[in-house]
Structure formats: structure tokens, C-alpha cells
Amino acid sequence: MIIPTVSSLLRKIAAPPIPAAREWARGYTGAAGPMIDLTQAVPGYPAHPELLNRLAIAAGDAAFARYGDIAGDMALREALAADMARIYGASIVAADVAITAGCNLAFTMAMTALAGPGSNVLLPAPWYFNHQMACAMLGVTPRALPCGAEAGFVPDPELAATLIDAGTRAIVLVTPNNPTGAIYPPEIIARFARLCRDRGLFLVLDETYRDFLPEADRPHDLFADPAWRDNVVQLYSFSKSYCIPGHRLGAMAAGPAVMGELAKVLDTFQICPPRAGQAVLSWAIDGLRDWRDGNRDLMAGRAAMCRAALEQLPGWRIDALGAYFAYVRLPDDAPDANLVAQRLAGECGLACLPGPFFGPDQDRHLRLAFANVEASVIASIPDRLGLLPG
Ligand SMILES: Cc1ncc(COP(=O)(O)O)c(C=O)c1O
């Protein structure tokens, strides 16, 4: 018997990071108090009860058990386009957007459509590990665009220009960023858009955490120029804003030429996005606006509390902090981040992800996903970090 092996592309990719980090916590005795899990970016509060009621009704409706439109149901596409038009102050219509079974799938489908085996895309590093994994699985090389603490982990368009070669197909930006929390200024995003336009590249913008930016701040002005449709692909997630990560719903915006080709990918990868959730979101976009505004304030409060708590801790440095994450630098005398994260989980009862999960040269950093926990728990983070054996 000859036992087959899985794809050689897949075998080179590291195991999923979050279960690996949670495994380190298994030996924790509870000595320092209940386990604090800061590994995963999930909103630390439940979905709105009215949304859950409506979901239950829609899930019990035979109409939503059928396949739907490949690019999503029109009611949700229209509601999302109207919401985007309001947020970005631009003309965006239902034809510009497609609904996807989550933003991770939106990214994978975008890469399938825009890049191809043997090509490369620039990913600001530290990167969101699933972006690196998706590219590597598709045979697309994720090329690191290093971002430093001194620039607040905001990528530099001039440095990006030097990394582009004949095989480059796209530049990917995530703002607000995972893992650092950095919020990219609109003028930096505009410079990346110009660079992509000049060099014939796609700009892929993952705005999963957009709804946690201050209401008054427009995330960027890209959509004001109708030419965005030539080379910008914007990605969004309903997981965080509506607290429904388990219902797998996200979205992508692109112009007609890209959308025309994307239809083949959407059909193959998802056939249609989940239907019951779509039906409910087409109500929730307007219906839960006040609730979302309240959550934005709650998250801003958690971010402020996290900053104040970490600032008390001698030797540690907050290198970036925003939306859902703090990216902190270890004290100089601490061991490397992998070992620190293992000890924090196993001995101090605090689970988080070490920098090396997010790309090269990150072994002095930890990502703390503080959105998961309440203010009282955030206040106790310094005590746990302070327990770290030398
Ligand atoms: C930047 C980014 N994109 C996408 C996702 C995944 O979103 P979804 O649940 O819609 O697949 C996450 C989740 O952590 C994320 O941080």
C-alpha cells in the first residue's frame, strides 16, 4: 500500500496558531486566578437578542434553506452598499458588493481571482496569519513588507515600491490592523492606491475592524474616485460588528470587471453565502445602528483601559494599540516571545499569541486581543504579566 501525502504547499504551512497557543494553557493550575484568554479576536459580549430572535425565525423558514444568489441576496447587498455610501461619503451601489461566507473566505477568493500560482503579493509584516496561510496554499508567495514600531507599524509606500517585481500582483492592507491594532492614516492608504495604480497592481483592503473606528473618522477616501473600481478590492466582516462569527458572513467590494471574474470563484467556493444570517443582517444594518455605536464606545473604553493598565508595567512597551489589539514589546531581559507566551499560559494563566505567529522578526512582541474580556479583567493583565518568571 502506498499512503498518499497532502499537497506539498500545505505541508509547508504551520498549524493553526490559536489552538496551538491554547494548548500551552492546558497545564495551568489556576494558581493566579481564572484563565484569561487573549488569543482570539472575538467581541467579548453576545449578539443583540433581537438579532438572535430573528435568526431563529429565519433559520426555521424553508425559503432560507434553499440556495440563494451567488453574490448574496439583493436585500443585503443593497443595505450594505447604502451603509458604505454613508460611511465613505461615496456612491456605492449593490452591483459593487458581494456577500461572502466570512471575510477569510473573501480574502481567499480575492487571491484566487487576482493572483495565481507563482505570483507574489506584498503583506505588511507583522501580518494576519490567515492571509499568509491562504496565499501559501494557493501557491502565491506572501512577500513581507516590514513595518516597524518607530512608525507605529504603519507600512511605508516607498519601501513597498522597492519590493515590487514582475511577479507582484497585489498589495494587501489591513486597517485597523490585526495583529498590531495600528490604524493607517487615509493619506497613507491613498499613497498605496496611487502606487498600485502606477504599477498595475490590485490594492486589497481588509477592513474587518472598520466599525470600531471613531464615528467621525472616515477610514479613507478611495471610494470618492470612481476609478477605484479598476484595481481596489475591499473586504469586510460581519463577524465582529454584529457578534456573529459563527454565522460566517463577510463581504467584498470590487468593480465590474473584477466582479465578473470573481463570480466564477464565488460560485465554486461558496455557491451562496449562508441565507438566514443574510436575511437578518439586511435589517440589522439600520436596525442595530445605535447598538453598534454603543459597542464602538465600549471597545474604545477597553482600549483606553488596556493602555492605562499596561503603562504601569515596568519594562514592557506598548508599540501599538487599537480596535481589538495591543501589540506589546517584551522587557529586554525577557526570553523570546514564544517562550514567554508558553510560560504566561502555563504558569501565569494568561493566554495570548507570540509575535512569531505573525511573520518574520517578531520575537520580541506579544499580541493581546483585549476585546475579548471585560474592563475588570483588563485591569488584571499587568498582574499576570508581572508574574512572568525571569
Ligand atoms: C483582519 C481579519 N480579517 C478577517 C478575519 C476573519 O473574519 P471572518 O470571521 O469574517 O472570516 C479576521 C478575524 O480575526 C481578521 O482579523
Residue 237 Cβ inside 6 Å of ligand 1? The answer reads yes
Same domain? For 224 and 148 the reply is: yes
Same domain? For 190 and 319 the reply is: no
Q: Do the domain assignments include residue 53?
A: no
The pLDDT of residue 387 is above 90 = no
Q: Do the domain assignments include residue 52?
A: no
Q: At how many degrees (to 10) do helices 103-114 and 256-269 cross?
A: 120
Is 123 within 8 Å of 142 (Cβ atoms)? yes
Same domain? For 217 and 249 the reply is: yes
Name the DSSP class of 151.
G
Q: What pLDDT was estimated at residue 43?
A: 83
Burial of 380 (0-12, 13-18, 19+ CB in 10 A): middle
Q: What pLDDT was estimated at residue 389?
A: 64
Distance from Cα 128 to the centre of ligand 1, integer Å: 9
Q: Model confidence over 225-265: pLDDT tens digits?
A: 999 999 999 999 999 999 999 999 999 999 999 999 999 99
The pLDDT of residue 107 is above 70 = yes
Nearest-angstrom CA–CA distance, 269 and 258: 16
| Residue owning the nearest CA to atom 13 of ligand 1 | 41
Residue 250 Cβ inside 6 Å of ligand 1? The answer reads yes
The pLDDT of residue 215 is above 90 = no
- Average pLDDT over every residue of 146-174: 97
**What mean pLDDT is reported for the chain?**
95
Same domain? For 38 and 96 the reply is: no
Same domain? For 296 and 282 the reply is: no
Of 246, 262, 287, the one marking the end of a domain is 287
Is 46 within 8 Å of 56 (Cβ atoms)? no
User: pLDDT class for 216, splitting at 50, 70, 90?
Assistant: confident
User: pLDDT class for 390, splitting at 50, 70, 90?
Assistant: low
- Which CATH number covers residue 231? 3.40.640.10
Of 244, 272, 287, the one marking the end of a domain is 287
Residue 239 Cβ inside 6 Å of ligand 1? The answer reads yes
Listed in order, strand segments (DSSP E) in 179-324 are 202-206, 232-237, 250-253, 317-322
| Residue owning the nearest CA to atom 16 of ligand 1 | 178
- CA distances (Å), origin 316, targets 41, 331, 359: 22, 5, 21
What pTM was estimated for this model as a whole? 0.96
Residue 372 Cβ inside 6 Å of ligand 1? The answer reads no
Q: Do the domain assignments include residue 51?
A: no
Is 185 within 8 Å of 154 (Cβ atoms)? yes
- Which CATH number covers residue 309? 3.90.1150.10
Question: Based on the structure, what is the number of domains in the chain?
Answer: 2
Q: Do the domain assignments include residue 233?
A: yes
Same domain? For 283 and 298 the reply is: no
Same domain? For 115 and 250 the reply is: yes
Same domain? For 202 and 84 the reply is: yes
Q: Do the domain assignments include residue 1?
A: no
Q: Do the domain assignments include residue 117?
A: yes
Same domain? For 104 and 40 the reply is: no
Residue 354 backbone phi and psi in degrees, to 5? -80, 150
Q: Do the domain assignments include residue 164?
A: yes
- Average pLDDT over every residue of 157-176: 98
Same domain? For 81 and 226 the reply is: yes
Pairing of strands 120-125, 353-354: unpaired
**Nearest Cα to Cα of residue 343 among 371, 366, 314:** 366
- CA distances (Å), origin 264, targets 75, 117, 248, 258, 335: 22, 17, 20, 11, 48
Q: Which domain holds residue 38?
A: 8-46+291-386
Q: Do the domain assignments include residue 265?
A: yes
Is 328 within 8 Å of 350 (Cβ atoms)? no
**Nearest Cα to Cα of residue 292 among 51, 58, 54:** 51
Of 271, 287, 303, the one marking the end of a domain is 287
Distance from Cα 311 to the centre of ligand 1, integer Å: 28
Same domain? For 238 and 105 the reply is: yes
Burial of 30 (0-12, 13-18, 19+ CB in 10 A): exposed
Same domain? For 73 and 220 the reply is: yes
